[in-house]
Structure 1
């Protein structure tokens, strides 16, 4: 900024020199010493004016710097005030939130204490009722201690009532264990009975299936017996027919043998044909019959 001011001063001085009137004649010129003094005087004036402007500018700059510092200080103070105010607002909000939360907590605690008080009143009422019932039971059972005292006095096994009560509790515990054991045994017996029932049912089903299979096999056996009976009847018929055929064959063979013997004896044929060879016997008889018919035809 100082350089700009110097430049403006130099420009003004230059313009002033240009605006100065130059004499047209030589007579108008001053002596060179006077001109030099005049120039020095003007230069001094200009330097003084420049120095005054510099001092003024310096004072303005110092004033401006001082004002800037004041503004910075005020800005800092303002920021601190804003921060303090913001902190105050935040603290106020936090205090307000804590107050509201505390009020809600106190209200909840009051409600909880009210419920607890109501519960305690109900509990006191219940305890008073239980106390009254216990007092009535105590009054009703007042005769039992006297009875127990008489029992202890008569019994030689017990010296005091607690011993008698302890013995009774032991017996009750034993009875409970026995009852529990009986329950376990009963459950085991019921389980075994269930297993037995299941086994009986499975066995019954198996027996039923086997009976069905036996009935099927019996029906198959009856069918097979019927087929066997039919086969035996057929076989018997076949055997009877075979016997009849065998008898007929035997008779035929016997007749053929007798016929062969008669023909052989009558015609004096050789009897070297075996008795079992019926076919040869019939062939011989047939040949003999053919020869006889030819002889008769020739005659």
Structure 2
């Protein structure tokens, strides 16, 4: 916007000079390019814009002409005046451009210096960071080393105490061994005396070897005895197991015998009951047989009585009671018929027999006894 205002002022001051329009446009284009470059540096664009605007205002104030002067000046003078003003503006722009170039070079130099200082500062920061890291690493290594040394010192102290304890134990064991050696010193003397008294052994090692052989034999015999005892104990255990199993079997057999005895008692009781029933049945059968014999004897007596008074078949067997009763029944029926015919032939004054008495007589004749 500031550039447009400056261009408007320049065009307003040179409105009547159409011949110098191209030069003025070139100057404005150059000014626009400078301002565009200045806009790339925001911190300096506003300052340069103000300074250029102030310079143009100063030039325009120097070129103030009375309003009516243009009417009296010829066009050639006006053109020369505008060209002179344009030359002055171009000189001012060149001076400003040169000043701008100098300022830009100073700025670039300062920027390079700042970039160099920034690189130096970054390098210093990196070196300091590296120094801090190395210092931390050294400190960590020192702490780890100190901890390791402290642990090693503790372990060495514990190892020292352990070794001291072992040394004390070894010294105690050595004293005990020395005492045992002093106490057993009499045995070599005794063995030497034994060698002197016997011709069986040449030296003490041979005697000790013989003693070791005897000890081995004793150990073997003891082992055999132990095996034999174990076998005896095993056989005894088997015997106890067999006795227990036999006792269990005997107990089971006794229980079975008791059950069978109970069953036999029950069967005997049942047999006694059946025998009692059999005797009762036999007695009843004998009584019935006696009654049957009496009945048969009565029937035989009736048959014989009937046979005496009336001719009946004599070929009836004595043991055929049914045939005998049939013969007696026929005889009785005949007698009843005869009695009925006799009663019919009697006079009417003779009273009639009671039918019930006659029927009872017939029944007694048909079923005697």
| Residue range with higher mean Cα deviation, 72-81 or 171-180 | 171-180
* Deviation, structure 1 residue 281: 1.3
The answer to whether the Cα contact below 8 Å between 1:260 and 1:285 also exists between their aligned partners in 2 is yes
**TM-score, length-normalised on structure 1?**
0.79
Mapped partners of 1:74, 1:180: distance in 2:
100
Q: Which runs of 5+ in 2 are unaligned?
A: 1-32, 40-48, 344-369
> 1:163-189 CA distances to partner (integer Å, 9 max, x unpaired)?
433443344345445545554554455
Q: Distance in 1 between matches of 2:339 and 2:190?
A: 157
The DSSP-based 3-state class of the residue aligned with 1:273 is coil
Greater RCO, CA 8 A, separation 6+: 2
Of 149, 164, 176, which residue of structure 1 is paired with 2:192? 149
Q: What's the TM-score once normalised by structure 2's chain length? A: 0.66
- What is the 5 A alignment of 1:203-222? 203-222=246-265
Q: CA deviation at 1:282?
A: 1.3
Compute the RMSD of aligned alpha carbons: 3.6
Per the alignment, residue 295 of structure 1 pairs with: 338
Residue 73 of structure 2: SS of its match in structure 1? coil
**Which residue matches 1:54?**
97
Task: Choose which of 114, 120, 126 in structure 1 pairs with 2:169.
Answer: 126
Distance, in Å, in 2 between the alignment partners of 1:149 and 1:237 is 113
Q: Matched residue of 2:74: which SS?
A: coil
Partner of residue 71, structure 1: 114
Which shows bigger deviation, 124-133 or 89-98? 89-98
Find the aligned partners of 2:240 and 2:163 in 1 and give their Cα distance.
58
**In structure 2, the residue corresponding to 1:269 is in which secondary structure?**
coil
Q: Which moved more, 1:222-231 or 1:21-30?
A: 21-30
The change in CA–CA distance for 1:266 and 1:291 in structure 2 (over 3 A counts) is same
Which one has the largest radius of gyration?
A: 2
Please say if residues 273 and 280 of structure 1, whose CA atoms lie closer than 8 Å, have aligned partners that are also in contact.
yes
Counterpart selection for 1:239 from 265, 282, 291: 282
Deviation for aligned residue 1:220: 1.4
- The answer on 1:28 being equivalent to 2:60 is no
Q: Which moved more, 1:174-183 or 1:49-58?
A: 174-183
Cα separation, 1, equivalents of 2:220 and 2:85: 138
* Aligned position for 1:2: 34
Query: How many residue pairs get matched?
Result: 297
Displacement of 1:239 in angstroms is 2.4
Tell me which residue corresponds to 1:114: 157
CA distance in 1, matches of 2:58, 2:246: 143
Report the CA distance between 1:23 and its aligned residue: 5.0
Tell me the secondary structure at the aligned position of residue 316 of structure 2: coil
